[in-house]
Amino acid sequence: MKKSVPKMGRITLPALLCCLPLQSALADVTRVDASIERATSSALQDISISGRVVDATGAGLPGVTVLVKGTSTGTSSNADGTFLITAPTGSVLVFSYVGYVRREITVTDAMKTLEVAMAEDMTALSEVVVVGYLTENRQNLSSSVSSLDVAQATKAPVATATQALQGRLPGVQVTGSGGPGDAPVINIRGIGTLGNASSAPLYVIDGLWTDNIRDLNPNDIESLNVLKDASSTAVYGSRGANGVVQITTKKGRAGAPSISFNAYRGVDQIYKRYNLTNASEWADRAVQAYANAKIDPLSAGQNSLAGAVKGPGGAFNPNVDTDWQKEFFQTGTLEDYNVSFSGGSVGEKNATNFLISGSIFTKKAS
């Protein structure tokens, strides 16, 4: 039985006609995907954002980390607190800074400029200690770092910052004669090397190293930390072998200028004197000591003590009775006058602050 084979022309035409609906459907899908891609691209369009990070007083915060959440894209604020970052719409900007509460802000289409005010985190400030150019958790440095309560220390009438440390921090020994102009010596956890000069700690004032803070006004100190062992002084090398005293001075703040003045005047006297014998009591005890030794105080040769004998042959003079403690330890006077002028301003791109202070301290003996 023979069957006729259809010609190719008859087969090709229906097949092409059948593929037309499929091609149309594929074209529609392609157009839909392109529309979705364009919409997604439009939704995630990058926006250039400029702004400024300030504290509670309006002063710019330098070094604040600005990061696009979930990415590695970020920047940090400049010295005046300004920053510039590019982020997609709908993303979240994270602002973080040591000692301040972290903030998160969502990026919108209309966001071109931004001012972020950060509040201090008192809990974080009490847990973090700045050690040189590093920061450490206070729990890791509980015994090696001590902080001075400056507000309480400056209430005492002291001439130098070293005197304000006396008796206030564990492991810190402050010694001095107490005389006018005397510079006390500080030893941290004992004397590390020979001699008072070489055992003195390193002083770091606002990042600058010095060996003496005698001329630093205690009223200009904002904070004071004492670093006492290798775990906290390592960044200072051999210069920190005898401990490090870190001092941050006061700075002006944005706002209306202010003038501060305080003064006091008082007396300087010894707290307690020794209960010693007078001339008559001393003479009686001296004569008794000679009698106990069976020695005649009038005929003991070069050891004779006629001046203590009140009877015949003696030379005791009841009119001579000098209180040498009274002669040495007299009442002195001290005066302290402090004045400071501070203020600052905040602009769109920069901030300015200033503080000018002066003091006069006088201590005289009567």
Q: Tell whether 161 and 236 lie within a shared domain.
A: yes
Q: Look at residue 28 and tell me if it is in a domain.
A: no
Burial 341-360 (b: 16+ CB within 10 A, else e): ebbbebeeeebebebeeebe
Would you state the pLDDT for residue 259?
92
| Selected residue with higher pLDDT from 347 and 37 | 347
pLDDT digit string, tens, across residues 248-297: 888 888 778 899 998 888 888 888 888 999 999 999 999 999 999 988 88
Q: Tell whether 265 and 301 lie within a shared domain.
A: no
pLDDT digit string, tens, across residues 100-125: 889 999 998 888 888 999 988 765 55
Would you state the pLDDT for residue 289?
92
Would you state the pLDDT for residue 128?
57
Confidence label for 231 from pLDDT (cuts 50, 70 and 90): low
State the alpha helices, DSSP H only, in the chain. Answer: 8-43, 122-127, 150-153, 161-165, 230-233, 279-292, 324-328
Q: Look at residue 300 and tell me if it is in a domain.
A: yes
In the β-sheet with 244-249, what is the strand arrangement from edge to edge?
145-147, 221-227, 244-249, 202-205, 208-210
What is the distance between the alpha carbons of residues 77 and 191, in angstroms, rounded to a whole number?
Answer: 44
CATH for 217: 2.170.130.10
Contacts of residue 88, Cβ cutoff 8 Å, sequence gap at least 6: 44, 45, 46, 47, 68, 107
- Which of 325, 157, 140 shows the shortest CA–CA distance to 227? 140
Structural domain span for residue 260 = 255-269+331-365
Q: Look at residue 3 and tell me if it is in a domain.
A: no
CB 127 within 8 A of CB 137: yes
Q: Tell whether 116 and 59 lie within a shared domain.
A: yes
pLDDT digit string, tens, across residues 136-175: 555 555 557 788 888 887 777 777 788 888 888 888 888 8
For the chain, the domain total comes to 4
pLDDT digit string, tens, across residues 178-192: 666 677 788 887 776
CATH for 98: 2.60.40.1120
Would you state the pLDDT for residue 349?
66
Strand partners, 271: none
